[in-house]
Structure 1
């Protein structure tokens, strides 16, 4: 299936945010700790922890830091203060926004997220206000140059949901949430190791933006991603290629 990366510019902005080493280290330390707390410290039997380990190593986090985070999570009591929260709202142009957080202070996080929405012309909504516009999926991404036909065949044999070839030649394999790890493992066994693999919230509908709307939405996303407690930000913004070119 052919397609274009209508959210690619937002992903690139996210990558620039994540390039701040302190931010990305904090993000993966929290994910490692919570994953180990919920599923145990053995990545062989804890797929979420295994994915977090891959991400942390990919961010050049040292084994010592990783091991300490896992040990802290595996040994944490049920009363551990770190919790996972999601916030929903609408940004400029009617764009739906989902914000995933990990925090030890709900009030602090809620206030910070609400401030970001308000400052950028958006509104923080109630639970369920935009969640129905997204589906939790697995996404395995491959850089340009991979054998497209062979990858598509392997993905279909592994029961992937969809394969999208982007205009730049990169390929995204999408899976169900439940089937993410089995598809990823099957692709790796077939010789296809993705350049990135993660669980994401994919929009089921999109809101197309003009230049002004795109600038405002990206400002909101940047502000949210700068917050220490924010792990991931998803939106259904559709920024046309000509608008994206003006933002570059």
Structure 2
């Protein structure tokens, strides 16, 4: 890890200008069968629009910038200040750029992580529970006040008729990589054909992404294969990787009855509360 004292103006500038084609925050994936490799998997469902963390168009800029600031600080805390060696930091910086986060905000976040400003005790904490309709949720947070965060999440569960409980046994942890054509002219079908041949890819689906306003392929793989697959997609095929993450894939699902308007409204309100909370960065569930 580089020492703080080497952060001269030039290196500091290099960090801010560093480019790597992955984005934080990532999205969760809905997959039924990861054992069968398929060319196309229609994994997204009618709940996709409320399952993903909202993008800049849907989320208040202040909340989004707070999320990004915390992620930058946590990334430096966990992996050091060099984005060339710290994929999580690189992802957070690119995400901040895509969200048009002011440069001063980014600089302040880096300074805090390096002890050059008012430091914050940033932690990465995961919470679990059952939400409306018995749907299982895994909620990942980046927080500077865990007491506040857990209090808010408990309140959301209780208000929705659910409760906090261990549900991780209902999920498998997998790596995910979402990408687009980049500088190529490849179609969705061509990209999926190329990607499915990459070693380590277990499944692939065409994902509707509200923040990008178009569909793009997303790969499911073992978490340990993410970096190698990223390298092949970007270097061999010249694709642009826009998100990478380790996500929780449900091993079983719970069907939401669309005719139950009260349940649908409660489920949607619960998801919106989670997505709008400044400490919550990923939401995974097993709703069908």
| TM-score (normalised: structure 2) | 0.71
User: Could you say which structure has the higher helix fraction?
Assistant: 1
Q: Aligned pair in 2 of structure 1 residues 149, 228: CA closer, same or farther (>3 Å)?
A: closer
- Structure 1: gaps of 5 or more residues: 239-248
Q: Matches of 2:221 and 2:193 in 1, distance apart? A: 13
Q: Aligned pair in 2 of structure 1 residues 81, 221: CA closer, same or farther (>3 Å)?
A: same
Cα pair 1:37 1:73 within 8 Å, conserved: yes
SS in 1 for 2:224: coil
Cα drift, residue 87 of structure 1: 1.0
| TM-score (normalised: structure 1) | 0.82
SS in 2 for 1:14: coil
Q: Matches of 1:179 and 1:231 in 2, distance apart? A: 23
SS in 2 for 1:157: coil
Q: Matches of 1:136 and 1:106 in 2, distance apart? A: 24
Cα pair 2:51 2:271 within 8 Å, conserved: no
Cα pair 1:155 1:183 within 8 Å, conserved: no
Q: Matches of 1:25 and 1:32 in 2, distance apart? A: 10
Q: Aligned pair in 2 of structure 1 residues 235, 34: CA closer, same or farther (>3 Å)?
A: same
SS in 2 for 1:84: strand
Cα drift, residue 113 of structure 1: 0.7
Q: Name the structure 1 match of 2:206.
A: 165
Q: Which has the higher contact order (CA 8 A, sep 6+)?
A: 2
Q: Name the structure 2 match of 1:242.
A: none
Cα drift, residue 163 of structure 1: 1.4
Q: Aligned pair in 2 of structure 1 residues 62, 180: CA closer, same or farther (>3 Å)?
A: farther
Q: Name the structure 2 match of 1:52.
A: 92
- Structure 2: gaps of 5 or more residues: 1-37, 209-213
Q: Aligned pair in 2 of structure 1 residues 201, 76: CA closer, same or farther (>3 Å)?
A: farther
Cα drift, residue 97 of structure 1: 0.7
1:104 aligns to 2:144 (yes or no): yes
Q: Name the structure 1 match of 2:173.
A: 136
Q: Matches of 1:162 and 1:101 in 2, distance apart? A: 27
Q: Matches of 1:143 and 1:47 in 2, distance apart? A: 19
Cα drift, residue 187 of structure 1: 0.5
- Aligned CA-pair RMSD: 2.8
